[in-house]
Structure 1
Amino acid sequence: MIQTSRTLDLKTHQLHLRHIYQRDDGQPILMLHGTIENGRIFYNDKDKGLACYLASQGFNVFVLDYRGRGKSRPQIKHNFNHGYHECIVEDIPAAIEYVFKLTGRKMHVICHSWGGILFHSSYTRFEKLQNKVVSAICFGTKRQVLVWNLERLLKVSLFWHRFAPWMAKKSGYLDAVKLGIGAESETYLAVKQSSDWVKPSKWVDSVDGFDYGESAKTTNWPPTWHLTGSKDRVLGHSDDVNLFINESNQNAKFSELSKVNGNMLDYDHINILTDKNAVNDHFPLIKNWLSEH
């Protein structure tokens, strides 16, 4: 397995892509992480994770760190004035164009959690991206969190809607690592924009008013597969995942991974990608689906 770092220079910042492969002429895959994460949700230095598994199967994998996260530079600090709007309109399109030009081939896109929202937003907004993507797979991707339970009350209603914006505004950013709630910090604007979309809301850009929901109705969506775990009770609950399917690509495939459905585990929001059983459980199904498309 070969792992190397590539840098995409966008003048005001540099994006880091982890390039993982055994064959650099294989079908390319771009992977997009979620909130308070970086690309390491998909890989580690010991060649574990979905990115490394798919590279071992002949795919040519690129894992993006959003601006300020992971090995992208500069890292998020006090009063950075970018949010997820910039990720949608600048960074993800730039990463797709970069992989397409480098490999000369259309790519699969694999997303975790909020990464799926950002990708779908970019894809429906920019028609030029639609001839560069073969398929999309999303793990635990929801836009709105409408399910009600105690975990939702604590993690979303109290923390993400109240404490996180307050802390981010007070400190200039949300230091998720210091708080012990994630692998990466988030800017105030990113927290605010994601909090607004997670609430019952229209899929509309808060910066320039672009109506993603309306655009999605006429978008030529690629074959798409949404997966979530039965123990993902809030951050990717099956009801909320299907809610997003209904407002984006209504022809998407949906799977809930659980023992009842024949899987080794009842997966949650994180171990759906990180558990050691995944490599013998649903990772081969992912590989087969990608190969079919």
Structure 2
Amino acid sequence: MQSSSNLFPVALISAERRGDLSEDVYRLKPGNSPDGTVELAVTRLGLADVAQTRGTPVILLHGSFSNRRFWYSPKGIGLGAYLARQGFDVWIPEMRGHGLSKRNHDYVKNRIADYARYDLPAIGAFVREQSAQIPHWIGHSLGGITLAAALGGQFLGAPAVASVALFGCQVSRTHWPLKIPPVEWGGRFILKRLAQLSGPRFKRGPEDEPAGVMIEAMRWNGLFGRFGDRERDWWKGLADVDVPLLAVSAVGDQQDPDWACRKLFEQVGAEHRQYLCLGRQQGFSGDFGHVEMLVSKAAQVEVWPLVERWLKDPLTPLFAAPAEALAPV
């Protein structure tokens, strides 16, 4: 079968019409990581009744225990569908072993370091090849952390990134028991025996997460931990990032609190950056939560239009919300 890309083997595994939207699903086999069995599913959304001319590309990265349905429900509801209807060229990857992406041979050892070093650059290169434009990137929770790791590790940069938006994304919330080495070692031992954590079982989401991702996060929070791998300090690398940045937190987010999201935002050295907190005191209808900041009826009305405005002009402050909610720098 002929590849859909000149970069690496890519197969178009489905092309469907979903109401007013077109849905093309590609399977990428980048072959750029030590595990040669890695395959990544990437869904492309567009308007079904519009000519093939596509708009500005946007790549949406889901969080932990999740998949493409966070951005695009079977009924055609979600930020991904909204942006497609506004004329954007929407791309929704699913990380290794999530959604339509098959579990790779070393699935249990998957790490954010692998996603950032190998997968995101391959996805970005494919989107640039297909769209002939530099994409914008949006990440929620673990998707945002992966994006921050790719930027801080210099695996992605300005030539491949038009702008970045991070929702509910932080790496500074400290879990003090993990500072005690025996506790961290015990946690690693348990996770290795489990191999993966079940999202449905623990009511965290529809997908499992491999032990490797959890062990990696425990290492960051350990006694001498840092946001990085053995080769690079991603946290320090963020200071050299110079792409337009939007960071969004939510007052009601207990998992990734506002102060921690703001700390990550302040570490990024971009000239053009804005910080947005979603809460009543900031002029919004309520104190949004970790998921509700993007998946809720209130988000459809209050947040999605802000995202659209940001994507159309990342260099201009967002004035749609009250001035105190936004912190342009």
1:132 is matched with which residue? 160
Distance 1:128 1:289, change over 3 A: closer
Distance 2:97 2:25 in 1: 16
Distance 2:199 2:158 in 1: 34
- The question of 1:265 aligning with 2:289 is answered no
Report sequence identity in percent: 22
Distance 1:265 1:2 in 2: 34
Q: CA deviation at 1:230?
A: 0.9
Matches within 5 A, 1:204-223: 204-205=228-229, 208-219=230-241, 221-223=242-244
1:117 is matched with which residue? 145
Bigger shift: residues 111-120 or 3-12: 3-12
- The question of 1:144 aligning with 2:165 is answered no
8 Å CA contact 2:61–2:144 kept in 1: the answer is yes
Q: 2:276 is matched by which residue type in structure 1?
A: S
1:236 is matched with which residue? 256
8 Å CA contact 1:135–1:222 kept in 2: the answer is yes
Task: Give the secondary structure class of the aligned counterpart of 1:13.
Answer: coil
2:227 is matched with which residue? 203
- The question of 1:53 aligning with 2:82 is answered yes
Deviations 1:194-241 (A, max 9, x none): 222256743221xx331222322333x2111111111012x2211000
Deviations 1:136-160 (A, max 9, x none): 11110001214xxxxx899xx9xx9
Say which of 277, 284, 304 aligns to 1:283: 304
2:114 is matched with which residue? 86
Q: CA deviation at 1:127?
A: 6.1
Q: 2:278 is matched by which residue type in structure 1?
A: L
8 Å CA contact 1:116–1:141 kept in 2: the answer is yes
Q: 1:215 is matched by which residue type in structure 2?
A: G
- How many residues end up aligned between the 2 structures? 279
1:149 is matched with which residue? none
Distance 1:273 1:198 in 2: 27
Q: CA deviation at 1:10?
A: 2.8
Task: Give me the TM-score of the superposition, normalised by structure 2.
Answer: 0.77
8 Å CA contact 2:26–2:42 kept in 1: the answer is yes
Distance 2:176 2:163 in 1: 34
Unpaired segments ≥5 residues, structure 1:
147-151
Q: Which structure shows the bigger proportion of residues in helix conformation? A: 1
Deviations 1:165-216 (A, max 9, x none): 55432222222223332222122211111222256743221xx331222322
- The question of 1:9 aligning with 2:33 is answered no
Distance 1:286 1:199 in 2: 35
Deviations 1:28-58 (A, max 9, x none): 0001112222222111121111111111101
1:185 is matched with which residue? 208
Distance 1:70 1:96, change over 3 A: same
Distance 2:222 2:158 in 1: 28
8 Å CA contact 1:145–1:199 kept in 2: the answer is no
Distance 1:275 1:199, change over 3 A: farther
Distance 2:126 2:116 in 1: 15
Distance 2:64 2:58 in 1: 20
Task: Give the secondary structure class of the aligned counterpart of 1:52.
Answer: helix
Q: CA deviation at 1:254?
A: 0.8
Distance 2:67 2:185 in 1: 23
Q: 2:90 is matched by which residue type in structure 1?
A: V
Unpaired segments ≥5 residues, structure 2:
1-20, 32-36, 315-329
Distance 1:162 1:32, change over 3 A: farther
Q: CA deviation at 1:103?
A: 0.5
Distance 1:229 1:164 in 2: 29
Distance 2:222 2:259 in 1: 15
8 Å CA contact 1:96–1:129 kept in 2: the answer is no
8 Å CA contact 1:32–1:115 kept in 2: the answer is yes
Root-mean-square deviation (Å): 2.6
Deviations 1:227-260 (A, max 9, x none): 1111012x22110001112323465311111122
2:8 is matched with which residue? none
Q: 1:107 is matched by which residue type in structure 2?
A: P
8 Å CA contact 1:107–1:134 kept in 2: the answer is yes
Using CA pairs under 8 Å that are at least 6 residues apart, name the structure with larger relative contact order, 1 or 2. Answer: 1
Distance 1:249 1:112, change over 3 A: farther
Distance 1:274 1:164, change over 3 A: farther
8 Å CA contact 1:144–1:197 kept in 2: the answer is no
